[in-house]
Structure 1
């Protein structure tokens, strides 16, 4: 048995005690941890977990536990074990101010979103940054030979990087892979079982229907006798189940990730998962573990109870069909079990009423033997109707909420063109993409969209017919084979938007998107960039863009629609202030806003009373902060700034601020 040290809070007094790990946890601890390994609860802020390991984030799994700080900053952060200062970074994004300690067994502990470092670290970081006033910092620190004993203060809690205030506490193996800190005893009392919030059912084959529709179904449970029941669902073809499930701890309001999931169909185990550790090289596979279309559209992290192609996370044990469900006609029961790390368990049940799809399937008109030339699919509707179709990586089918469309497909059968027309009112109308290298979609509103069959492990390049827009996917960009289409159109402002579809299929890595701006006025060329559009907020998000001659190239992380826009407006600077932090340090700040390409804090300068400081940026508060060691304001202070955006539109501002 090994030991875990925790901090207790009694009448405002901090006490460190040692508690014994349970036998269950000791059996599950990582192999590199010796039986004598001890971990200290890393802060005196609270003993409250606000988030746990493996939770859904916007683009990755959460790789740590978060410890709540009650909306406040400046609590002590302790070295959880003896260790050497391995790495320190400062950034307005991601981890923010972060410390990495390396321990004797080669493992690491990481402390992120800090308000500040202890004085030795702060002095080194600032002395290096002040050489060129670069606000960013990320260096290996082992050459400074700074060692900490367990329990020594290494920093203060904060909200840098991603707020609100909390401590992100992460443990990594000697191979630098994050592992669940609960395996090391970092835990809280938990006697509350998980809760099922929803079920999703995905069609996985062209003949799959769910309650008569070819869409992803979501359902909410009723609770009967402590069991969550999802009722009876009508299905045909091959389907996949997923659950939206959460957990809580005693006296906690935050919801957590569950530790284990199991799926049984008619008593046979189809799927099992347990989240102990993962490699950073596979962190993006969260998009495959979750139902990506629902995550993208609703933000809810439905966890799949089957393994999608391309997913090699180490979480799973499944049947021979990877948890996918295809059953004979009749009614079949299923059970889902969810457990938290403390062993609390909840059960969900449901029934699948399986029927055969008896309608004659539409002929597969896209055959390898007829490519090239590509198959041509002509529709009597516009592109908006087609975008509402259900996209699978291997086939597409009309969604049940689309209006009836007549679709004509042409192919060269060797003796001339063959024409076939059908209406998508047929529930089993679908177009196979698996054997086609390309297919042209032509709509009645003049939209032309060419689908290309792409494969992982090779470089893939696609373009529009006129070569104005093209995309390049590296050999590592795709999780699995899929069909991708590219098109563009000229918007009302006279500038292009480029669509790379389908946007409900995730990518492993970013891709390169290019557009030839030949014909755009020269005075705008240097200001052009790619942007995504958030229709709910009616706002644009900049995608990092470079220009080579008349060609713009961006590196989007996912597929979708991208707008080419000029940024000719300088940032707005307002709300100057001088303030003193709770630890006694003085700062100056201004509010900055730029609605297109965004503030480029690296190119911005900040002087107070004629002395230049480091211009640190808080993107979430839209604040530029003047940082200078030992700064002391006068009674009347002059703030002088030059704030730039990505496209070098600059605002020069001067303010007088009384202290």
Structure 2
């Protein structure tokens, strides 16, 4: 145990002493830097892994290699990062460029060849060190809006090449591109009664009133409590360049002047991303969309950026003792906002009781839990959840109720449903669907063995068996049947599916496979005639779209094109 603590201490010292090159990398764009998202910002189910650079609300800006190196990975997907390029640099770091419209030059040729070799739009490549060498300032791509991007921008990351840990770009000197004289804004402070205690006569979290002091700090109204309490904040940061809110860089709490609980967004691993759901008050977020960052851990979790004392940020309020709790929120430039909270003891009984929760079972987070009723079974492996909780588990007809999505799951759990009402032919079309509030069915990959259907999911809620017998829908964006398309640069179709969702699509011109790029936001697939597959004169087009359970739709037509 002593060796472990010593190792942990030494590891933290080594991390703290890491020196990053400040002038080695250039900015990936040649326009004034404006951020629409910064490192560590709180996102659904993850922390933001880099910078989101604004691109003047348009696509097609030149994207430059931040330093010499070679393209080590390329991933093209209609989801997530969209079109992404990874560059390894000789100093041990990797830069990542995402949501690209298209790559440039030799890199784009490499990508296009792979599309046609694999006959797929979704591809992932790992070029060798001597294949795609780039120099600092070389144009590697054009900015775009591909993947799950909600608007034109460039997502940019730094990673440690060996460990793949992501690193705050500010540590590489990118602070010189940003002016920031603004202090973070603490919009709300909450006190959380824990383990049956009360705070200001409430067993529920309470919003504290804040008053601005002459020295620029804030003073909260006094908290009168008995037993264990914790605190949480909602806070945002602003800079002089962007004029939109971003995530905070550092938060530290103090109890009677001694550090209690804090974290700083410098570096962390991808396997830690989902701990954002443990850091925030997840239940409040799902109900109100407000992200309250908790400054305590009722049950410790392994998020490496957190530094805490032996109490894990929990304040124990005892008789005859007055306490002073202080919260400091800072940005990377040292601009700091401070809130002071006086705390005293009060033995009065609560006026506001805990919120009632519909439940009939209790889940122990550190143990495996198996619940079964009628024809449905749910298995939660140990450590599926962050904390113990009372769960509502019910089976009503063909609907399984697994509490609701106000309790976050960190890892997958299994649902098994037995049913003998489907024929062997039908079974291939059946899947376990999550049932949305609007009655919409969400597809989950499902395995069938005999009459038992199983799936692995990571969200609590309602589930049911669904069958999809409907093929996808294919339609033309504009009429092409029998028409001359000599002046068109692209060929575009709309594809959609009302059941399990689209799994694959393939297009053929005169029997030859052609690349269609898929935009999930517009539900359109686009072929660029510049690929050189189109023939002079008549062209026969065939498109086959298949959904997740194997239903297929084929679209065929003929058009004409002159290349002269």
Shared fold (TM-score, shorter chain, > 0.5)? yes
- How far off its partner does 1:229 sit? 4.8
Q: Residue 87 of structure 1 contacts residue 142 of structure 1 at CA under 8 Å; is this kept in 2?
A: no
Q: Is 1:278–2:278 an aligned residue pair?
A: no
Q: Is 1:342–2:243 an aligned residue pair?
A: no
Q: In 2, distance between residues paired with 1:100 and 1:547?
A: 38
- How far off its partner does 1:486 sit? 4.0
Give the structure 2 partner of residue 169 of structure 1: 156
Q: How many residues align?
A: 534
Q: In structure 1, which of residues 23, 35, 38 is the aligned counterpart of residue 24 of structure 2?
A: 38
Q: In structure 1, which of residues 293, 313, 337 is the aligned counterpart of residue 303 of structure 2?
A: 313
Q: In 2, distance between residues paired with 1:658 and 1:348?
A: 70
Q: Deviations over 1:190-239 (max 9, x none)?
A: 1111111222333321x223454433334575555544454345544322
Q: Equivalences for 1:324-339 in 2 at 5 Å? A: 324-329=314-319, 332-339=323-330
Q: In structure 1, which of residues 232, 240, 248 is the aligned counterpart of residue 230 of structure 2?
A: 240
Cα distance change on mapping 1:452 and 1:548 into 2, 3 Å: same
Q: Residue 309 of structure 1 contacts residue 479 of structure 1 at CA under 8 Å; is this kept in 2?
A: yes
Cα distance change on mapping 1:203 and 1:657 into 2, 3 Å: farther
Moved more, 39-48 or 480-489: 480-489
Give the structure 2 partner of residue 558 of structure 1: 459
Give the structure 1 partner of residue 9 of structure 2: none
Q: Deviations over 1:243-266 (max 9, x none)?
A: 110011104222111111122344
Q: In 1, distance between residues paired with 2:300 and 2:524?
A: 41
Q: In 2, distance between residues paired with 1:338 and 1:578?
A: 58
When the two structures are superposed, what TM-score results if normalisation uses the length of structure 1? 0.73
Give the structure 1 partner of residue 173 of structure 2: 185
Give the structure 2 partner of residue 426 of structure 1: none
Q: Residue 338 of structure 1 contacts residue 347 of structure 1 at CA under 8 Å; is this kept in 2?
A: yes
Give the structure 1 partner of residue 53 of structure 2: 67
Give the structure 1 partner of residue 194 of structure 2: 204
Give the structure 2 partner of residue 5 of structure 1: none
Cα distance change on mapping 1:656 and 1:576 into 2, 3 Å: farther
Q: In 2, distance between residues paired with 1:352 and 1:474?
A: 40
Q: Deviations over 1:123-153 (max 9, x none)?
A: 2222222134222111211255321111111
Cα distance change on mapping 1:353 and 1:525 into 2, 3 Å: farther
Q: Is 1:653–2:555 an aligned residue pair?
A: yes
Give the structure 1 partner of residue 477 of structure 2: 576
Q: Is 1:590–2:493 an aligned residue pair?
A: yes
SS at 1:287 equivalent: helix
Q: Residue 455 of structure 1 contacts residue 482 of structure 1 at CA under 8 Å; is this kept in 2?
A: no
Q: Is 1:517–2:414 an aligned residue pair?
A: no
Give the structure 1 partner of residue 524 of structure 2: 623
SS at 1:245 equivalent: strand
Give the structure 2 partner of residue 419 of structure 1: none
Q: Residue 227 of structure 2 contacts residue 318 of structure 2 at CA under 8 Å; is this kept in 1?
A: no
Structure 1 stretches lacking a partner, 5+ long: 1-26, 360-396, 406-440, 442-448, 491-495
Cα distance change on mapping 1:141 and 1:632 into 2, 3 Å: closer
Q: In structure 1, which of residues 520, 523, 527 is the aligned counterpart of residue 429 of structure 2?
A: 527
SS at 1:135 equivalent: coil
Relative contact order, higher structure (CA 8 A, sep 6+): 2
Q: Is 1:107–2:93 an aligned residue pair?
A: yes
- How far off its partner does 1:567 sit? 2.1
Q: In 2, distance between residues paired with 1:53 and 1:275?
A: 7
SS at 1:155 equivalent: strand
- How far off its partner does 1:473 sit? 3.6
SS at 1:116 equivalent: strand
SS at 1:555 equivalent: strand
Q: Residue 453 of structure 1 contacts residue 483 of structure 1 at CA under 8 Å; is this kept in 2?
A: no
Q: Residue 578 of structure 1 contacts residue 588 of structure 1 at CA under 8 Å; is this kept in 2?
A: no
Q: Residue 88 of structure 2 contacts residue 94 of structure 2 at CA under 8 Å; is this kept in 1?
A: yes
Give the structure 1 partner of residue 277 of structure 2: 287
SS at 1:161 equivalent: coil
Moved more, 350-359 or 547-556: 350-359
- How far off its partner does 1:462 sit? 0.8
Q: Equivalences for 1:17-416 in 2 at 5 Å? A: 31=18, 33=20, 38-142=24-128, 144-163=130-149, 164-173=151-160, 174-187=162-175, 188-205=178-195, 207-218=196-207, 221=210, 223=212, 225=214, 226-233=216-223, 235-329=225-319, 332-352=323-343, 354-356=345-347, 399-400=354-355
Q: In 1, distance between residues paired with 2:225 and 2:53?
A: 43
Structure 2 stretches lacking a partner, 5+ long: 1-13, 481-486
Q: In 2, distance between residues paired with 1:589 and 1:309?
A: 52
- How far off its partner does 1:49 sit? 1.2
Cα distance change on mapping 1:640 and 1:183 into 2, 3 Å: same
